[in-house]
Amino acid sequence: MSQNAPAHFSLLVVDDEPDLRTLYELTLLREGYDVETAGSVEEALLHLKDRSYSAVITDMRLPDGSGLDLLTKLEQGSRREKAIVITAYGSAENAVEALKAGAYDYLTKPVDLRQFRSVVASALGRAPQSAPTVVPSNLPSSGGAAPAAIRSGRETARVAPPDLTRGAAPRVTPPADALAPALRRLSGQSAAMQQVRSLIEKVARSMAPVLVQGESGTGKELVARAIHDVSPRAGQPFIAVNCGAIPEHLLEAEFFGYRKGAFTGATEDRDGFFQAAHGGTLFLDEIGDLPLAMQSKLLRVIQERSVRPIGAVTEAPINVRVLSATHKDLANELQAGNFRQDLFYRLNVIQIRVPPLRERADDLAPISAALLERIARDAGVSPTPTLSREAFARLANHPFPGNVRELENLLHRAVALSGGDVIAGEDLGLEDEVFVETDHAELDARIAEAVAAAAPGSEPSLPSDLVSHLDAVERDILTRSLERHRFNRTAAGASLGLSLRQMRYRMARLGVVVAGADSGD
């Protein structure tokens, strides 16, 4: 055993090929690990019955089952072992299934031994004992320190040709008391936000790609940063990229970097976003805005885990966890031919939906308090201003199409305009919402369109009393919306494009009654 092994790690290697099993065992023993081996699912389960391990490394195809069977057993037993799955080359579906089943990471055959050591070390939160590193020179224009890059020299299994699929940098596990602040930044105690925080804690443990979905201004980047901050990669770079803000002709250079002389103006080597995020997390915001040509190149990098800068002749391995986000419905984008199906399945291994503010009205007060505290601190204002009853009522009646970002902008303005410690209603800049007849006409037109579209391909029958018919349709829509939003009139009205005042008017006119409505929402 290696003398400089910093801690005792025990590994279970499962593979039905004796030569490969021996090769993996010898490689791991050189790294200072305690290694046991098994040749089948049944034999591995016997080992797991007798003791626990730091990690389980298993081939996907075994004589009496598959690596997924072992993952299922680990999950059912609530065991703490990290799982690494080895799949056949080109079996993208198996890799995605393994990640969905709870695998920390996967390797593809033929296995590169340097890569093998690095992935195991990454799973255990330590640096490989024999993996030399160097520091690259240049940084991308987005800023941030360049992480360590692994030398191109590598040791390859004698039973297979060399493979450049990924590199890995050591993970740094943050102390336990540092995990709470990352989640506390996601204000609110509604059921929706508690579910988001729970998902973040679960997905942070693995390398599985995560797609964060939600409307503009809901805090998708905050969720991505929380995933990074509570993961073992917290000590490594977090690079956030707005895909829609980069000109199309610069996308490849910004993402993958370039070499000196690759094109006019390339006067020096420069790394791209992937190299800058090496060992850490790359967050691709508004992924739905990428053009199809760039989607194809991005897919290859994610699959091969290597990058070839513009002007370079060889690819360099990278170890990056990819998180992505979009406000678009990517399923619709697939149908429209605007987004690649294979890339979607690669990115959408785990999905986290960030609810809009109107669906978590109960969180408005704590979110406002947290934002006011931060705004006051940044502006040097003391004590922190508070909202008057009238100001909070105006916020509660507002539909917030811009979500938390819009709320933050309103509170910034209010802090600047208010002359004291209490923010008045007029400081928010929200005009009183006055109901006008054009709003009736607009919704009535929507209802009429819905009625006409209810029976496609057939001629709908004409009602004998149009007013009563439309009232009945509108009453049904209001009732269903209230039920969907647990009879919260503010949220139900916002989902239909109505303010609380407009919602109350229509409910009164149509006789829609909600128990306890007089007490407010």
Establish whether the linkage from the previous residue to 110 is cis, with ω within 30° of 0.
Answer: yes
Confidence check: pLDDT of 96 > 80 = no
The CATH architecture that domain 10-131 belongs to is 3-Layer(aba) Sandwich (3.40)
Least confident of 210-219, 321-330, 425-434: 425-434
Give backbone dihedrals phi and psi of 34, rounded to 5 degrees, phi first.
-90, 120
Query: What pLDDT is recorded for position 450?
Result: 55
**Mean pLDDT for the chain overall:** 78
Instruction: Provide the pairing of β-strand 105-108 with 82-87.
Output: parallel
Determine whether 143 is exposed, middle or buried from the number of CB atoms within 10 Å of its CB (0-12, 13-18, 19+): exposed
- Estimate to the nearest angstrom the gap between the alpha carbon of 401 and the chain centroid: 22
Confidence check: pLDDT of 3 > 80 = no
CATH of domain 437-519: 1.10.10
CB 33 within 8 A of CB 9: yes
Query: What pLDDT is recorded for position 275?
Result: 93
Its sign, for the CA torsion 252, 258, 262, 263, is positive
- Checking 241-250 for CB contacts under 8 A at 24+ apart, the result is 241/142, 241/273, 241/282, 241/283, 241/284, 241/285, 242/285, 242/286, 243/284, 243/285, 243/286, 243/287, 243/289, 243/290, 244/285, 244/286, 244/289, 248/291, 248/294
H-helix or E-strand containing 423? strand 422-423
Q: DSSP 3-state assignment of 264?
A: coil
Confidence check: pLDDT of 220 > 60 = yes
Domain boundaries, the chain: 10-131, 176-355, 358-428, 437-519
Cβ partners under 8 Å of residue 102, min gap 6 = 71, 74, 75, 83, 206
Q: Which residue, 172, 55, 75, 175, is CA-closest to 116?
A: 55
138: left (phi over 0), alpha (psi -120 to 50) or beta: beta
Instruction: Choose which CATH entry (1.10.10.1100, 3.20.19.10, 3.40.50.300, 3.40.1390.20) describes domain 176-355.
Output: 3.40.50.300
Instruction: Calculate ∠ Cα 207-210-216, nearest 5°.
Output: 150
* Span 194-206, pLDDT tens digits: 888 888 888 887 7
pTM of the model: 0.61
Residue 36: count of CB within 10 angstroms of its CB: 15
Instruction: Choose which CATH entry (3.20.20.140, 2.30.250.10, 1.10.8.60, 4.10.93.10) describes domain 358-428.
Output: 1.10.8.60
* Span 74-92, pLDDT tens digits: 888 888 888 898 887 556 6
- Say which residue the tokens 């910004």 belong to: 254
In CATH terms, are 10-131 and 176-355 the same topology?
yes
Residue 70 CA to residue 64 CA, distance in Å, equals: 11
R_g of the chain, CA atoms, integer Å = 28
Q: Which residue, 212, 211, 208, 273, is CA-closest to 239?
A: 273
Average pLDDT of the segment spanning 456-478: 76
Residue 79 CA to residue 81 CA, distance in Å, equals: 6
Query: What pLDDT is recorded for position 305?
Result: 84
